[in-house]
């Protein structure tokens, strides 16, 4: 799996899910449980992550703030 970078576009605090706009283009869904550390996702935050396609939907995992 290759690391990607992007910016958090949005985060829903009730559902604990959001979208990351990838530097290579497109948006990818993420779940707050996949964030390394205890930081709260905020729109505009720069992150590094791995794309996981093992589930039914493509999602970001192993997310870390950079």
Handedness of CA 51, 25, 31, 43 (dihedral sign): positive
Cβ atoms < 10 Å from Cβ of 34: 15
Note the pLDDT of residue 2.
80
Note the pLDDT of residue 32.
94
Note the pLDDT of residue 57.
82
Determine the 3-state secondary structure of 16 from DSSP: coil
Q: What is the pLDDT of residues 11-61, one digit of tens each?
A: 999 999 999 999 989 999 999 999 998 888 999 999 999 999 887 788 999
Sorted by where each begins, the domain ranges of the chain are 3-65
Q: Which residue has tokens 């869904």?
A: 29
CATH superfamily of this structure's domain 3-65? Nucleic acid-binding proteins (2.40.50.140)
Q: Would you give the DSSP letter of residue 26? A: S
């Amino acid at each position: 799996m290759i690391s990607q970078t992007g910016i958090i576009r949005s985060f829903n605090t009730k559902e604990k899910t959001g979208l990351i706009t990838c530097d290579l283009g497109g948006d990818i869904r993420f779940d707050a449980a996949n964030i390394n550390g205890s930081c709260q996702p905020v729109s505009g935050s720069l992150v590094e992550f791995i794309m996981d396609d093992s589930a039914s939907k493509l999602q970001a995992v192993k997310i870390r703030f950079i």
